[in-house]
Structure 1
Amino acid sequence: MDAAALVHTSKGAVRGFRRGTTAVFLGIPFAQAPVGTLRFAAPVPIDAWEGERDATVFGPTAQRGDTGITLIPEPSVPGEATLNVNVFAPADRDRDAALPVLVWIHGGGFTSGSPASRWYDGDAFARDGVITVVISYRIGFDGFGLIDGAPTNRGLRDQIAALEWVRDEIRTFGGDPARVTVAGQSAGGGSVLALMTSPAASGLFSGAMAISPAIGAVTLASAERFAARVADRAGVRPDRRGFASVPEERVLAAQRSALAPHLARAITSLATLLDDGLPLGPVIDGDVLPRHPLDALSDGACADIPLVIGSTDDEFTALTARYAGALRVVPVPLALAVLGLRRTRRRAYLERTRRRGTAAVLGGFFTDRVIRSTVLETARARGTGPTWVYRFAWASPVPTIGVACHCLDVPFWFDHLDADGVATIAGTPPPDLATLMHGAAVSFARDRDPGWPAWDAETRRARVFGAPASAPAVERDAYAEVAPLV
């Protein structure tokens, strides 16, 4: 038996396994299974257990079935104990090493995603002296639906409970609870911004990384309307007793049915989708999420917490590229007007964008409205708070991708280009780029400095990863092209 793969937590012993120089512990529960009387409840701490708990396989996931909506292979694992964590630590660590810790929150639009993806393996971080903790949380209506009689933002509460587990247990894995970086991509990046502005998460991390953040801030009114639609389709009252009276599969089917007309309306009125967002995600409840994260950041929330934030250059242009032929006959200004961009801003935006052709401009507009404008708004909102901004500019050589698309940068941050599925969207990427990006993440987790100048209101500098050799590695006036949208 490898002693490095046995850890004694406050709740009991967990037996993982050694993989090369990494000690891996999978599926460790941080809260009780959210079923039975705990369904739609706030997370409840796990009870202690006798003997050794096996931690050699991924735990159950909140995702049921492969949704196929992301480019990241994120498998579903059946089972009830979905509130669990995966820990990757140096196998030969000193138990008193007090190593920095990276807590990773997966994406998936708050309705899908899984911590069981090999893309999130922390081997490279462990190699470089950083412990990685990948957390699970409730998604979809179970996690974020507004239910009368049930606590709000159960998914965010799960994330906070996982961070509390890290605070209480990470020392025994060799980590330092005072050196925790919370990081995530897409909905995970949006979760990071929400956690930065949640009083319940105060003191649980000392650094943050928001990668391609899809901000979640659903109004109470919108959440109430959506809950009523789900209840109607499930045939129950829109309260906890009603939803608890039907099985999980029925609520999930009702959720999908309730989302369908919203998405259908978005096809005919994309401006509505861009303005209102999806109806599932963190809810501005006056409690766990008191205000819109951007408003709270503007007023100084987490002003002392160092933050790295950025996006890929073309998060969603690959989606519109498939319609390039049909869109060729549509004038670009008309298309943007239909999407609600007024004339003055439309002209300013078209003058600054580097994209050409209706399909590319529309995909870029979605990218800029949904993701890149959040990066710029967050950097501005932070004022003099320690903030480092980046751009991921490396375009995939895969013909069906061809750009720096959503999710493409994740294996670079993890220095895990050999993970299953990476070659499908990245081809054969330059390994030095992964070395640079992963090194920046390690430096930030360890020293709170990713290695390039911080953002300031005058120079607005950003690190550009994957830019042509002739372009500067650090760009001034970054994200200027999205300024007309914010």
Structure 2
Amino acid sequence: MSEAPIVQTESGPVRGIRREQDAAFLGIPFAAPPTGRRRFLPPQPVAPWTEVRDATAYGATPQRREEPNALIPEPSVKGASTLNVNVFTPGLAGSAPVLVWIHGGGYSSGSPASPWYDGRTFTRDGVVTVTVSYRLGFDGFGVIDGVPDNRGVRDWLAALEWVQRNIAAFGGDPGRVTIAGQSAGGGAVLTLLGMPAAQHLFHSAISISGALGDLPRSLVERRSALLADMVGVEPTLEGFRSVTERALTRKQYEASLLGKTGLKATTAVLMDGLPWGPVIDGELITRPTVDSLAAGVGAGKPLLLGATDDEFTPAMDAAPRALRFVPASLALRLLRPARALRRSWLVANRPQRRKGTAATFGRFVTDTVFRSLVVRVAEARADAATWVYRFAWASPKTGWSSHCLDVPFWWDCLGSERVAALAGDHPPQGLADDMHSAAVAFTTRADPGWPTWRTEPGMSRVFGDVPALSRSAYDDALPLA
């Protein structure tokens, strides 16, 4: 590879960065800037170029302001051309397996430019790595009459189409593409897996702490109209186009969109879903994702999925002090589960109850959003090749196996910025070796190295606890599955 590697893409030549063990090509547009008359439209074709284009710095991000309390460092980059990909390759020759990463952030924040998502550890192990951007929040998922819904989903599809057409030039095999993501990115992976229109775009899938959207269109339509009222315009295409992106960003995440604040806002997310996310639009997404998987969509594609033990328990540690003095059984009534369901879950989670109400409440939220979904997806896929894991290592910083804690282990980037703030000063490298190796094995051979959920019913790989293999890893979440 030359000192400044150049690749010819379908739109024009790009110049990347030669690194010690690989090459990086950053900020390559897969669609035209979604601005002006293109705003709120599906992704539009890129204008081709003939001169060599520098691909040596991350492109603009749909996230316009970095979340100050984000667990993962995900920087915002200014600019208009926000729909772009970053490619990390071990070499331009050959035909290596490809990992395409979709970032998380509740479908409303996040960035593909995170130092955690640098592909150097995957290229070290022979995997071409691609990180993609997509429109967030209302721009990506709001409902506007006259334009298609699910523009963020259409961005995922456009990015994957770009990979199919271009990745061979970067040394990747378009027939061996694994899509992967965490949190909302993990939900994106499941959404794509259950979407008939996406089946030709990837070979296998990894969903890490997946959070599904599956929002009813009528609900998002009401929220969109409320947002229009909040910014003082008509809920039409021209009305929304008349509002600056900055003004919409200020308002579109306010708790008033859910009609609640404080702890009740948390319960509203459980009952009504995230403020923005993939919509059941009757076109791309015709039914809830788990129903689609149960009907056999994506059955031919291997899937690896799982969650951490206590995704959102640290958030409950910061809940009002009064919550700590409320009996767990009473606190769970705030979430309105059926009485029998609440009782069966409390019985299955006696060890967690001994840790206090906040721990119990946090585990219930975790099970409702994440861990029960793992079971429902694994069961819905019946005999389809499905591998399940459980991340159980507790950070010495928080005392919990929390949301995002596992990401630097999957990426084998324990030395990256902000990892110590989440995982402590000495997170176990051996655990990162095991998890990253499993991700590489799955991406390369479609087998992470333990029995499937169906081969040995309920079998899960437990990372960070013993035994390493367990048929009961998700038994405490089963009442909600």
- After superposing on structure 2, the runs of 4+ consecutive aligned residues of structure 1 that deviate more than 6 Å are none
Q: In the superposition, relative to structure 1, how do residues 5 and 260 fare at CA in structure 2: closer, same or farther (>3 Å)?
A: farther
Assess if the C-alpha contact under 8 Å between 1:266 and 1:273 holds in 2: no
Aligned twin of 2:239? 242
Structure 1 residue 190 and structure 2 residue 187: aligned? yes
Assess if the C-alpha contact under 8 Å between 2:226 and 2:257 holds in 1: no
RMSD: 1.6
Aligned twin of 1:122? 119
Local SS of the residue matching 1:328? helix
Local SS of the residue matching 1:166? helix
Aligned twin of 2:409? 412
1:338, 1:244 → 2: CA distance?
A: 39
Structure 1 residue 108 and structure 2 residue 105: aligned? yes
1:112, 1:342 → 2: CA distance?
A: 33
Q: In the superposition, relative to structure 1, how do residues 307 and 79 fare at CA in structure 2: closer, same or farther (>3 Å)?
A: same
Deviations 1:155-182 (A, max 9, x none): 0000100000000000000000000000
Structure 1 residue 475 and structure 2 residue 465: aligned? no
Local SS of the residue matching 1:103? strand
Aligned twin of 1:168? 165
Task: Report the AA paired with residue 128 of structure 1.
Answer: D
1:263, 1:390 → 2: CA distance?
A: 36
Deviation at 1:326, TM superposition (A): 2.9
Deviations 1:185-217 (A, max 9, x none): 000000011111222212100000010001111
1:239, 1:219 → 2: CA distance?
A: 19
Structure 1 vs Structure 2: percent identity of aligned residues? 53
Following superposition of structure 1 onto structure 2, how do residues 18-29 of structure 1 map, counting pairs within 5 Å? 18-29=18-29
Deviation at 1:139, TM superposition (A): 0.3
1:135, 1:319 → 2: CA distance?
A: 28
Structure 1 residue 387 and structure 2 residue 386: aligned? yes
Assess if the C-alpha contact under 8 Å between 1:42 and 1:154 holds in 2: yes
1:296, 1:239 → 2: CA distance?
A: 31
- Which of the residues 136, 140, 143 maps onto 2:137? 140
Assess if the C-alpha contact under 8 Å between 1:269 and 1:339 holds in 2: no
Point out where structure 1 has 5 or more consecutive residues left out of the alignment.
none
Following superposition of structure 1 onto structure 2, how do residues 150-299 of structure 1 map, counting pairs within 5 Å? 150-257=147-254, 259-262=255-258, 264-265=260-261, 267-268=263-264, 270-299=266-295
Following superposition of structure 1 onto structure 2, how do residues 58-97 of structure 1 map, counting pairs within 5 Å? 58-90=58-90, 93=91, 95=93, 97=94
Q: In the superposition, relative to structure 1, how do residues 248 and 270 fare at CA in structure 2: closer, same or farther (>3 Å)?
A: closer
Deviation at 1:260, TM superposition (A): 3.1
2:268, 2:231 → 1: CA distance?
A: 26
Assess if the C-alpha contact under 8 Å between 2:208 and 2:305 holds in 1: yes
Give the number of equivalent residue pairs. 477
Task: Report the AA paired with residue 180 of structure 2.
Answer: A
Q: In the superposition, relative to structure 1, how do residues 56 and 4 fare at CA in structure 2: closer, same or farther (>3 Å)?
A: closer
Point out where structure 2 has 5 or more consecutive residues left out of the alignment.
none
Deviation at 1:45, TM superposition (A): 1.9
Identify the range of structure 1 (141-150 vs 454-463) with the bigger mean alpha-carbon deviation.
Answer: 454-463
2:302, 2:92 → 1: CA distance?
A: 27
Task: Report the AA paired with residue 85 of structure 2.
Answer: V
Identify the range of structure 1 (76-85 vs 320-329) with the bigger mean alpha-carbon deviation.
Answer: 320-329
Identify the range of structure 1 (39-48 vs 181-190) with the bigger mean alpha-carbon deviation.
Answer: 39-48
Assess if the C-alpha contact under 8 Å between 1:231 and 1:254 holds in 2: no
Assess if the C-alpha contact under 8 Å between 1:2 and 1:17 holds in 2: no
Local SS of the residue matching 2:408? helix
- Which of the residues 338, 341, 344 maps onto 1:342? 338
Identify the range of structure 1 (130-139 vs 321-330) with the bigger mean alpha-carbon deviation.
Answer: 321-330
1:248, 1:381 → 2: CA distance?
A: 39
Local SS of the residue matching 2:405? coil
Local SS of the residue matching 1:304? coil
Task: Report the AA paired with residue 384 of structure 1.
Answer: D
Assess if the C-alpha contact under 8 Å between 1:441 and 1:450 holds in 2: yes
Assess if the C-alpha contact under 8 Å between 2:260 and 2:268 holds in 1: no
Deviation at 1:452, TM superposition (A): 0.7
Deviations 1:92-140 (A, max 9, x none): x252x11000000000001100011000011010000000000000001
Local SS of the residue matching 1:168? helix
Deviation at 1:424, TM superposition (A): 0.9
Structure 1 residue 41 and structure 2 residue 37: aligned? no
Task: Report the AA paired with residue 420 of structure 2.
Answer: A
Task: Report the AA paired with residue 385 of structure 1.
Answer: A
Q: In the superposition, relative to structure 1, how do residues 268 and 414 fare at CA in structure 2: closer, same or farther (>3 Å)?
A: closer
1:70, 1:100 → 2: CA distance?
A: 31
Aligned twin of 1:12? 12
Aligned twin of 1:364? 363
1:239, 1:323 → 2: CA distance?
A: 39
Give TM-score, length-normalised by structure 1: 0.95
Deviation at 1:325, TM superposition (A): 4.5
Deviation at 1:8, TM superposition (A): 1.4
1:414, 1:69 → 2: CA distance?
A: 21
1:420, 1:263 → 2: CA distance?
A: 36
Q: In the superposition, relative to structure 1, how do residues 27 and 198 fare at CA in structure 2: closer, same or farther (>3 Å)?
A: same
Deviations 1:405-426 (A, max 9, x none): 1001111111111111111111
